[in-house]
Amino acid sequence: MEKKLKIIIGVMAGVIVILAGLLIAQLSKKTAYKEEVQVLTIDKQALTEQMTQLQQDYANLSSTNDTINTQLQIERQKVADLIEKVKRTEASNQAQLRKYEKELGTLRAIMKSYIKQIDSLNQMNVALKEEVTEVRKKVEQTTAENVKQKKQIEEQAKKLDEGSAVKGRGITLAGLNGRGSETNRSSRVNQFRTNLSLIENSIAQTGAMTVYVRIKDPEDILMTDGSQQVFTCGGQQLIYSAAREVDYQGEELDVSIYFTPGVELSRGTYTVEVYTNRGKIGTAELYLK
């Protein structure tokens, strides 16, 4: 009896040992599975973080080139779609995750190529900006020089024009009686005579020239013979009292111009203004008693 009991106890102990071994093996298997799941989860999380970083890197890229900007927008959308795919994929699906990891590498390589293109464009833009600035400076400098030269030419032309103008001196206004003698009595004056000398000027235009006189009475009213004859001076039309055409050859020339008022004269100061088409030569006064 005692022998049988020992046998039963031995069998039960063996069963217990086997069961314990099986339990330990099962627990080890579960632990290994949990550890594997944790590793896979960590791999998926790391892949997601890499994709999120790539998405941020793409977001920070920009260019002044519309074509590149359009292409960048397409690649950004690809990254966003890939992130969504990874989120929907189980961590245990290693084959699919490895495929997404390769796509991530491709998108990263594409981004690097765009970075190079953008840097190259930026360098070109900087160089072009510097070139445009240099050209603008040269244009401004040339323009300034042209303006300066133009001003100098205009000043020289003005001096030449002024220098070529015929000038007069010794202008006098006299009253003449019926016998042609000078008189300063208003009641005896039948005619006015304006004397002047056109001075020598070697650069003046030579040939026929008209000298005009404008005689004004003491009330500053222009005196004419009633014909209202006009001439142009400085772009303005003026009425003149009398005129005379002379042949000027660049040498000093004495000129006398006569005007018959045809009206009774009053006492006071009479004024004569002498002109050519180029401008005013001078003035003179005569006081009649």
pLDDT single digits (tens) 81-121:
888 887 888 877 888 888 888 888 888 888 788 778 877 77
What is the arithmetic mean of pLDDT over 125-131? 76
What is the arithmetic mean of pLDDT over 253-282? 91
d(CA 169, CA 91): 114
pLDDT at 124 over 80: no
d(CA 45, CA 36): 14
Fold of the CATH domain 168-288: Immunoglobulin-like (2.60.40)
Q: What is the pLDDT of residue 14?
A: 64
Q: What is the pLDDT of residue 36?
A: 45
Number of neighbours of residue 89 by Cβ within 10 angstroms:
17
Nearest CA to 104 out of 61, 68, 42, 52 is that of 52
Residue 90's SS3 state is coil
**Structure tokens that stand for 250 in this block:** 């660049």
What is the arithmetic mean of pLDDT over 148-161? 64
Contacts with 237 (C-beta within 8 Å, 6 or more apart), sequence order: 230, 231
Given the structure tokens 């030449």, which residue do they identify? 160
Nearest CA to 169 out of 201, 208, 142, 198 is that of 198
Nearest CA to 62 out of 107, 108, 122 is that of 122
